[in-house]
């Protein structure tokens, strides 16, 4: 069964490029991006892992830990990481999970038989500190992931978790957000002292509250 939003993210133990880990112990109370790769030494994945490493500071300031999954061995992972660091001018220091028996891939439904009977698809899971699945994305093998979008969604999720707001279409960090319908209009001033705009009774906007 595929994981749905709000489901518990399954725990697992695995060998990785930084040593053996227990998923829950490793992530502790962080937000998490867990994403899969069909195999080592593949071109699109090489750019994705490199881009992830380049964005290390962006993930850290959002309290996000990143883990990648590939079905190859730790030995292959270390060889591939050297290639990634060389070609993408970066330093991959986050865990690359060795999922040779496909346990993690099966737990997270990363193998879609109509796409490939054996290889994982490009799945992305954002998991909250409560270990609940907050976002799922699935890309085709030919399309590299958009990490600006992944960071944008994390910003939105964290705003919702902390301030009872939602974000409109194409929202970017720094722009106005939407007050969730559960908050009555008369209660908005007490919760959002920067002010608000009532576009419609059901559409109230306010400046991003954490800036």
Do both 29 and 88 map to the same domain? yes
- The pair of structure tokens assigned to 143 is 């399309």
Domain for residue 96, yes or no?
A: yes
Residue 176 or 117, more confident: 176
Q: Is 45 among the residues known to form the active site?
A: yes
Q: Give dist(CA 122, CA 101) in Å, integer.
A: 18
Domain for residue 154, yes or no?
A: no
Domain for residue 151, yes or no?
A: no
Grade residue 115 by pLDDT with cuts at 50, 70 and 90.
low
Q: What is the DSSP string of 181-200?
A: TTS-GGGHHHH-TT--EEEE
> Do residues 19 and 26 lie in contact, with contact meaning Cβ atoms separated by under 8 Å?
no
Do both 90 and 193 map to the same domain? no
Q: Give dist(CA 125, CA 102) in Å, integer.
A: 17
Do both 119 and 34 map to the same domain? yes
Domain for residue 153, yes or no?
A: no
Q: Which domain holds residue 200?
A: 164-206
Tens digits of residue pLDDT in 24-69: 999 999 999 999 988 899 999 999 999 999 999 999 999 999 999 9
**Strand ordering across the sheet containing 203-206:** 165-166, 177-179, 203-206, 197-200
Number of domains in the chain: 2
Do both 174 and 125 map to the same domain? no
Gap between the terminal Cα atoms of the chain: 40
Do both 30 and 89 map to the same domain? yes
Residue 164 or 114, more confident: 164
Do both 17 and 106 map to the same domain? yes
Q: What angle do CA 117, 120, 125 make, to 5 degrees?
A: 140
Pick the catalytic residue: 3, 9, 45, 126? 45
Do both 137 and 197 map to the same domain? no
Do both 96 and 18 map to the same domain? yes
Q: CATH number for the domain including 77?
A: 3.40.30.10
Domain for residue 1, yes or no?
A: no
Do both 35 and 130 map to the same domain? yes
Do both 105 and 195 map to the same domain? no
Do both 142 and 40 map to the same domain? yes
Do both 18 and 107 map to the same domain? yes
* Average confidence (pLDDT) over 105-122: 67
Pairing of the two strands 31-37 and 64-70: parallel
Q: CATH number for the domain including 176?
A: 3.30.1020.10
Q: Give dist(CA 82, CA 78) in Å, integer.
A: 6
């Amino acid at each position: 069964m595929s994981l749905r939003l709000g489901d518990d993210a399954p725990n697992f133990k695995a060998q990785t490029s930084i040593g053996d880990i227990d998923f829950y112990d490793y992530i502790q109370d962080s937000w998490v991006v867990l994403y899969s790769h069909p195999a080592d030494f593949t071109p699109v994945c090489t750019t994705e892992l490199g881009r992830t490493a380049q964005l290390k500071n962006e993930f850290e300031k959002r309290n996000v830990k990143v883990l990648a999954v590939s079905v190859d061995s730790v030995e292959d992972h270390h060889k591939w990481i050297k290639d990634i660091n060389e070609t993408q001018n970066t330093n991959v220091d986050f865990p690359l999970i060795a999922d040779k028996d496909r346990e993690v891939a099966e737990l997270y439904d990363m193998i879609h038989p109509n796409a490939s009977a054996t290889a994982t698809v490009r799945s992305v899971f954002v998991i909250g500190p409560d270990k609940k699945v907050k976002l799922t994305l699935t890309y085709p093998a030919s399309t590299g992931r958009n990490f600006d979008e992944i960071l944008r969604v994390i910003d939105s999720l964290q705003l919702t978790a902390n301030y009872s707001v939602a974000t409109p279409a194409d929202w970017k960090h720094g722009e106005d957000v939407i007050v969730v319908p559960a908050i009555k209009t008369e209660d908005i001033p007490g919760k959002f002292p920067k002010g608000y705009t009532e576009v419609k009774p059901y559409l109230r906007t306010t400046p991003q509250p954490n800036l």
